[in-house]
């Protein structure tokens, strides 16, 4: 009976012991302390297992490489790669469990490169590249848009040459075996060198009659210096960007511009044609308004043979009033009373006085002036130089200054304050109310 009770007690005790065996459960986690997967990297271990009382850690590639602590804390990795972290957990009950995780340590990609242009950005442009990217096991792929070479594999490429004008991208792609990054820089190649110019004569020389003063406008592209030569010009040569030159002698005169930069040069040529001097300025289709048109600022009644401009009342100022040498008085729109008057007499004929006004002699009626003048319309039309008017005796007479009516064509002779002789041909008289005007051609000696 006693043996039976002892056996039952042993069975009960054994059953209780098996029921209280502790299992090892859970897991561990890893995290990057510096929130970056680039070396050097510190990995923090968080042990979330339960039921163990012994721990054997193995940190492949880490420092430390092993630990027996429940919470080994932080592990340092100095090289990129994939590493296994292993935990073997046991307890006194003989329970054993293994846990493992793989951490990937990457070499950080921080691209740093510079480019430097040799000499200048005029084509062709040679570029030196310096790669300061730091890291082990990195690969480098270069792309040079429109460059020579077009691509390169390696840390430091040879010098690259760009010839096509415009923007060109330099792209560096760096890989660490796990990921890649790229950086783009741009160089600009200046336009190709072009030698080019335009020119314009001074206002008084726009008929290109000998001598001619011409302003040159340099329109060269990508040039830094210039060499001009002017056939029969003064000066004969120049290094100015925009020179002014006087050409003498009728005929064709060659102009040569050689433009330079530090890479190349180019020549552009043009020809200036100088005409024989006629000493005659020919002005056509000049509109001169009646007094009402002038004062209402519709059509001016005052003209300057120097500026070749018609002036209305509101356009006259201290700068141009002394240049006016022709004034037309049209008393009404029917052209009943008309005459040309000296600018210094304008205030006597319905106009405001002109400051520093000129004195011009007009012969409004050749047949009344009794001064031996008989310059005809045919002579006016045929006049191509000042020879026909050189000998004309144009002087003031009261009869010559008399008004005329609605009758055209008509020739009016005049002599300016500086002694230039001229003729006006009225070829139309347009009745249009307060905007009535005469239409005329003027031929006058040059200054």
DSSP 66-82: EE-SSS--EEEE-S-EE
Q: Residue 5 has what pLDDT?
A: 42
Q: DSSP 3-state assignment of 11? A: helix
**How far is residue 192's CA from residue 16's CA, in Å, rounded to a whole number?**
97
Q: Are 30 and 44 in contact (CB under 8 A)?
A: yes
Q: Are 445 and 414 in contact (CB under 8 A)?
A: no
- The owner of tokens 């011009």 is 360
Q: Residue 219 has what pLDDT?
A: 98
Q: Residue 19 has what pLDDT?
A: 54
Tens-digit pLDDT string for the chain (447 aa): 444 444 444 444 444 445 567 888 889 998 888 765 567 888 889 999 988 889 999 999 889 999 999 999 898 988 877 899 999 989 888 889 999 989 887 767 889 999 999 999 999 999 999 999 988 789 999 999 999 999 999 999 999 999 999 999 999 999 987 788 999 999 999 999 999 999 999 999 999 999 999 999 999 999 999 999 999 999 999 999 999 999 999 999 999 999 999 999 999 999 999 999 999 999 999 999 999 999 999 999 999 999 999 999 999 999 999 999 999 999 999 999 999 999 999 999 999 999 999 999 999 999 888 888 999 999 999 999 999 999 999 998 877 788 999 999 999 999 999 999 999 999 999 999 999 999 999 999 998
**How far is residue 245's CA from residue 236's CA, in Å, rounded to a whole number?**
8
**How far is residue 240's CA from residue 225's CA, in Å, rounded to a whole number?**
8
Domains 23-105 and 113-189 share a fold: yes
**How far is residue 436's CA from residue 432's CA, in Å, rounded to a whole number?**
4
Tell me whether strands 151-153 and 125-131 are parallel, antiparallel or unpaired: unpaired
Q: Residue 277 has what pLDDT?
A: 97
From first CA to last CA, the distance across the chain in angstroms is: 159
Look up the CATH number of domain 23-105: 2.60.40.10
Q: Residue 6 has what pLDDT?
A: 42
Q: Can you name the CATH fold of 197-274? A: Immunoglobulin-like (2.60.40)
**How far is residue 424's CA from residue 55's CA, in Å, rounded to a whole number?**
121
CA distances from 187 to 116, 150, 159, 164 (A): 9, 14, 14, 11
Q: Which of 274, 240, 273 is nearest to 257 (CA)?
A: 240
Q: Residue 197 has what pLDDT?
A: 98
Q: Residue 401 has what pLDDT?
A: 83
Q: Can you name the CATH fold of 113-189? A: Immunoglobulin-like (2.60.40)
How far from chain centre, in Å, is Cα 150?
29
Q: Residue 258 has what pLDDT?
A: 98
Domain ranges, ordered by start, for the chain: 23-105, 113-189, 197-274, 280-445
The tokens for 369 are 């002036």
Task: Name the pTM for this structure.
Answer: 0.71
For the chain, the 3-state helix, strand and coil shares in percent, each to the nearest 5, are: 10, 45, 45
């Amino acid at each position: 009976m006693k043996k039976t009770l002892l056996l039952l007690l042993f069975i009960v005790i054994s059953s209780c012991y098996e029921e209280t065996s502790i299992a090892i459960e859970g897991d561990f986690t890893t995290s990057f302390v510096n929130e970056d997967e680039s070396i050097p990297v510190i990995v923090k271990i968080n042990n979330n297992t339960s039921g163990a009382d012994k721990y054997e850690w193995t940190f492949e590639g880490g420092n430390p490489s092993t630990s027996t602590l429940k919470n080994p804390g932080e592990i340092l990795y100095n090289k990129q790669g994939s590493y296994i972290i292993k935990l073997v957990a046991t307890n006194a009950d003989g329970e054993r469990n293994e846990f493992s995780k793989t951490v990937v340590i990457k070499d950080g990609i921080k691209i740093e490169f510079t480019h430097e242009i040799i000499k200048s950005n005029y084509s062709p442009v040679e570029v030196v590249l310096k790669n300061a990217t730091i890291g082990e096991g990195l690969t480098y792929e270069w792309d040079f848009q429109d460059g020579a070479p077009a691509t390169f594999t390696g840390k430091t490429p040879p010098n690259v040459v760009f010839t096509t004008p415009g923007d060109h991208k330099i792209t560096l792609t760096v890989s660490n075996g796990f990921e890649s990054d790229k950086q783009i820089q741009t160089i600009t190649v200046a336009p190709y060198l072009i030698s080019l110019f335009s020119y314009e004569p001074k206002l008084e020389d726009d008929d290109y009659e000998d001598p001619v003063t011409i302003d040159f406008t340099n329109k060269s592209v990508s040039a830094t210096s210039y060499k001009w030569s002017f056939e029969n010009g003064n000066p004969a040569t120049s290094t100015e960007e925009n020179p002014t030159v006087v050409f003498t002698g009728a005929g064709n005169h060659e102009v040569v511009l050689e433009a330079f930069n530090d890479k190349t040069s180019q020549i552009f040529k043009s020809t200036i044609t100088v005409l024989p001097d006629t000493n005659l300025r020919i002005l056509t289709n000049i509109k001169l308004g009646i007094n009402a048109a002038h004062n209402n600022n519709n059509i001016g009644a005052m003209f300057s043979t120097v500026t070749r401009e018609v002036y209305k009342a509101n356009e006259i100022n201290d700068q141009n009033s002394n240049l006016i040498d022709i004034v037309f008085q049209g008393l009404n729109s029917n052209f009943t009373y008309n005459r040309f008057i000296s600018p210094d007499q304008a205030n006597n004929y319905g106009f405001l006085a002109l400051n520093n006004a000129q004195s011009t002699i007009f012969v409004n009626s050749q047949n009344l002036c009794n001064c031996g003048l008989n310059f005809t319309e045919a002579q006016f039309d045929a006049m191509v130089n000042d020879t026909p008017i050189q000998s004309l005796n144009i002087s003031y007479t009261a009869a010559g200054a008399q008004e005329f009516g609605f009758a055209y064509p008509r020739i009016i002779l005049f002599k300016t304050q500086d002694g230039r002789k001229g003729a006006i041909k009225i070829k139309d008289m347009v009745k249009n109310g307060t905007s009535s005007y005469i239409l005329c051609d003027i031929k006058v000696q040059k200054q």
